[in-house]
């Protein structure tokens, strides 16, 4: 009985996550299937990866015909955060978690599931985790397949326009947090600026798509981590205040209709920008 109630509790907590995943993965399925992926491949990728940014990057690298090392390293770097989430989750599992149950629960460590699990007041039981992970997995996979099937019935002229959908989805992921957090805005603009340099300056021609993304991720995220450290501490509160202060003014406009020269300026002078607004 105890197992059953824990399982149902998990289902209850996981269902909103699963519903949220359904629409996101529907967009994913639509865009990768119009780009040429078979529906079942897209569905299988969603089922076995259960990530957003990681599998989006992986599939778009596959579309470019990237090398295996590029795909492995890009996946590794983008999904490194799951390592940290599993680390802190491992301290919250109750003693019923044997090796086998740990092996199966590991697959369900996503940003949202982790956030809900870590917020529970008591230690986590295997039944609860099973329930919590079940609906998000179903939602993520089913949404991908539904989106993929839908994209198959679209006429060809619509399909070429749909190729922009995957990138539009990336924009939908990065713009809202960039509005609210200046450090994220900095990361987005800096990464964009460097990416444009790598693409349009012939000198960087030796960097293929996958490697340039890896280099950009490491450089820009390191720089941001030094300039704007996150976590429990003064800097975080300070960053939030700065965001709130600036919410009504420049950050919003510079985000929505910034052009690339804006991105370049931001990248060169993050410190002066920050100081000016304090």
Partner 1 sequence: MNDPVYIAVCMIIMAGTTYLLRVTPLIIFRKKIRNRFVQSFLYYVPYAVLAAMTFPAIFTATGNTAASLIGTGAALVLAFFRRSLLTVALGAAAAAFIAGLVI
Residues 157-216 that bind partner 1 (CB under 8 A): 157-158, 160-179, 183-184, 187-192, 194-196, 199-200, 212-213, 216
Tell which positions 8-47 bind partner 1, by CB under 8 A: 23-24, 26-27, 30-31, 36-37, 41, 44-45
Residue 135 CB, shortest distance to partner 1, in Å, is 18
Residues 87-146 that bind partner 1 (CB under 8 A): 87-91, 93, 99, 102-103, 105-107, 109
Least distance from partner 1 to the Cβ atom of residue 166, Å: 8
Three-state SS sequence of 155-194: CHHHHHHHCCHHHHHHHHHHHHHHHHCHHHHHHHHHHHHH
Q: Within a 10 A sphere around the Cβ of 218, how many other Cβ atoms?
A: 11
Kindly tell me which of 7 and 216 has the beta carbon lying closer to partner 1: 216
Size of the site for partner 1 (CB under 8 A): 108
Nearest 10 degrees: Cα torsion 132, 138, 143, 148:
150
Q: Are 77 and 220 in contact (CB under 8 A)?
A: no
Token output for 41: 């491949």
Between CA 213 and CA 215 the distance in angstroms is 5
The structure tokens listed for 178 are: 């960039």
In angstroms, what is the minimal distance from the CB of 18 to partner 1? 15
Instruction: Please identify, using beta-carbon distances, which residue of 8 and 164 lies nearer to partner 1.
Output: 164
Rounded Cα distance between 110 and 248, Å, is 32
**Chain centre to alpha carbon of residue 245:** 27
**Among residues 177 and 250, whose Cβ is nearest to partner 1?**
177
CB of 72 to partner 1, least distance (A): 5
Q: How far is the CB of 188 from partner 1 (least distance, A)?
A: 4
Residues 62 to 91: which contact partner 1 by CB under 8 A?
A: 62-63, 65, 68, 71-72, 74-91
CB burial readout 159-191, b (16+ within 10 A) else e:
eeebeebbeebeeeebeeebbbbbbbbbbbbbb
Under the criterion CB under 8 A, does residue 228 sit at the interface with partner 1?
A: yes
Smaller CB separation from partner 1, 104 or 269: 104
Region of residue 38 (phi > 0: left; psi between -120 and 50: alpha; otherwise: beta):
beta
CB 28 to partner 1: min, Å: 8
* Residues from 244 through 263 that contact partner 1 (CB under 8 A): 252, 255-257
Which residue, 3 or 101, has its beta carbon nearer to partner 1? 101
């Amino acid at each position: 009985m105890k197992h059953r109630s824990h399982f149902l509790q998990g289902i209850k907590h996981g269902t909103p996550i699963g519903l949220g995943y359904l629409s996101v993965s529907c967009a994913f399925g639509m865009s990768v299937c119009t780009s040429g992926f078979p529906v079942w491949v897209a569905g299988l990728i969603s089922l076995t990866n259960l990530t957003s940014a990681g599998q989006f990057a992986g599939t778009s690298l596959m579309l470019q015909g990237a090398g295996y090392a590029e795909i492995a390293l890009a996946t590794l770097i983008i999904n490194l955060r799951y390592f940290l989430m599993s680390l802190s989750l491992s301290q919250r599992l109750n003693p019923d978690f044997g090796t086998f149950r740990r092996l199966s629960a590991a697959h369900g460590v996503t940003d949202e599931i982790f956030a809900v699990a870590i917020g529970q007041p008591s230690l986590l039981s295997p039944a609860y985790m099973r329930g919590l992970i079940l609906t998000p997995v179903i939602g993520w996979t089913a949404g991908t397949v539904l989106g993929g099937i839908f994209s198959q019935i679209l006429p060809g002229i619509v399909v070429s326009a749909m190729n922009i959908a995957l990138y539009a989805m990336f924009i939908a992921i990065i713009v809202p947090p960039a509005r609210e957090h200046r450090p994220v805005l900095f990361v987005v603009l800096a990464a964009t600026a460097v990416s444009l340099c790598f693409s349009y300056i012939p000198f960087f021609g030796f960097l293929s798509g996958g490697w340039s993304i890896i280099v950009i991720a490491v450089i820009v995220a390191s720089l941001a981590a030094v300039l704007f450290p996150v976590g429990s501490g003064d800097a975080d509160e300070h960053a939030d205040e700065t965001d709130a202060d600036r919410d009504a003014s420049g950050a919003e406009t510079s985000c929505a209709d910034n052009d690339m020269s804006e991105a370049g300026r931001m990248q060169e002078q993050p410190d002066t920008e920050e100081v000016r607004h304090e």
